[in-house]
Structure 1
Amino acid sequence: MSLPAGFGLIAEDPAMGPQVTAQLARIEELLRESVANTDAFADQTSRHLVEAGGKRIRPLLAVLASHLGDPSRDEVVTAAVVVELTHLATLYHDDVMDSAPMRRGAPTAHELWGNSVAILTGDLIFARASTLVSDLGGRALKIQAETFERLCMGQLQETQGPRDGEDPRAHYISVLEGKTGSLVAAAGHFGAMLAGAPEEHIDVMVRYGEKVGVAFQLADDVIDVTGAKEKAGKRPGTDLREGVPTLPVLLLRERAAADPGDDDTRRVLGLVDGDLSSDEALADTVAALAAHPVAEESWAIARSWADEAVAALAPLPESTVKAALTSFAHAVVHRDV
């Protein structure tokens, strides 16, 4: 794992640059060691997503946060691996629930080995994360347990959908806070805490991480339903085809309800609610959504969450670390990470 584009300020820092690069390399090494298994089949299924790559934004945030304290502590690398393992485990489960055929440019585990194997592999990776976090002390274990609960609740909320009378957009944001924001916040929490940063700085990283996580997922969802940029291994419009409610579609429905005479909005909504089984129909719908004003409105909302994350950094002293965290927040909505 190397520094993404936009982080030249770290690479140019003679003290921070080499240390961050070494931390990221060690995380990648330990990640592979952590999923290794003496059973050949379990080893194959557990390595599947690790070897497919990924953005590794959670470990990167843990590393950046650790530079608010003593980043040389071994616990920082361990915690960074814990959050990435937890993320990987959820992907095995999510892909089963969503019937997703591809992940990171490769067939999903359930497509290769069936649902039961995919679910059990996710459970196995969760177990490895639990073993690692148990060595980090009671406070870390509590953070992991609370984060895991929020991940499950976020998924359950998404599965159930909004309750009667609940605002769909508020429900959607709540789902993102649970499914994505909680684990990104945990990465910042772990990195700062295990590096011995002051408590007020740890609190900053928790607030910052939650907002960055939501900004990241908002951008991911907009990319999917507008085809703004094809994500590796995932066809634009996958969420549309699966009927997953995302921000552009929610905004489209809000517009249609507010102005029934808006013919363009009604036309695009008709495409969204139509038969998207064919690739041609899906591509037409993605193109129509991308051209509609809700696409830019969605991007503006994603950027506003990133801006709120940057604002949360205000209590930190001016430093290379603070500048890097600012770049990180902007990068998650401009897809440099």
Structure 2
Amino acid sequence: MVEIILHHYPLSLFAEKIRRIFAYKKIAWRSVEQPMMAPKPDLTPLTGGYRRIPVLQIGADIYCDTACIARRLEQLQPEPACLPADQAGLAALIEDWADHRFMSQVVPPVVVELLPVLPPGILIDRAAMSPAMNEDVLRRAAPHALGQARLSLDRLESQLRGRPFLLGDAFSIADAACFHPVWFLKKSVRTSVRTSVRTSVRTSVGMSARLSAEIEARPALAAWFARVEGFGPGDVRPMTAAEALAIARASEPADVAGEESAAAEDLRPGDTVTITADDYGPEESRGVVARLSASEITVRRRDPAVGEIALHFPRAGYRIRKH
């Protein structure tokens, strides 16, 4: 069986979304830890420029963006389901809200509190991806963003009263997407306390504890968080980046068959395109269209380090430019 490989790093919000799905579905996976900042010399041969985390690798098939990754995992292991057929639209709407609006509310206050313990240069790196990640901008945005995050936490608290998960009795993609911003609030206090003990950096611990207390003050939300966290780390084993690249080099793209979608507009298999996120991260991935659907695009590309690769992206949230 081809191994399922996740390229990520421990503090990544979006990687935690996928790690929760792995744990819930009890999918065995291999962990390749990538740098938090560019350059990422062991990732770009796979993605052709896309640098956001996480990235899923299955042989020579590379899945970018958690929306695409989650749906591939659902295809590989349908049970227990994370995409409820009878609530697919609602689940997708909550996922999009959490991944964009809720996440943008949580990041400024948490990052500001984590600044004493984050790697030097991290915000210079992130500002190259988005002007909103400039330190001055983040500091100015943090108070308002925290107020908005409280409103979102209240909405989650209201939705979770009387039910174990956001859509009812079972965990779903909606829970995975809402969990990772809440996890980031919790992570701020854990990271700050752990680092303060190690380095005597204590300035951010008090505020970070207050951020975490926002969760504890909402009993249904706190119980839900403990429930999802209780899935544990899952069946995970480490892998080196060199091993992952060797697997890609020894493999051929396997997930490229399928019909062209009528929703593909003027795009056709064989077209050369560049794909770029429409919110942050200006890096482009270039390839030849192999498959199109209403929701995803697959392109083939070749890299000297790994040979032929198939790159998979969701169409929502990405600009596709034909050449």
TM-score, normalised on structure 1?
0.28
More RCO (CA 8 Å, sep 6+): 2
More strand, by proportion: 2
TM-score, normalised on structure 2?
0.29
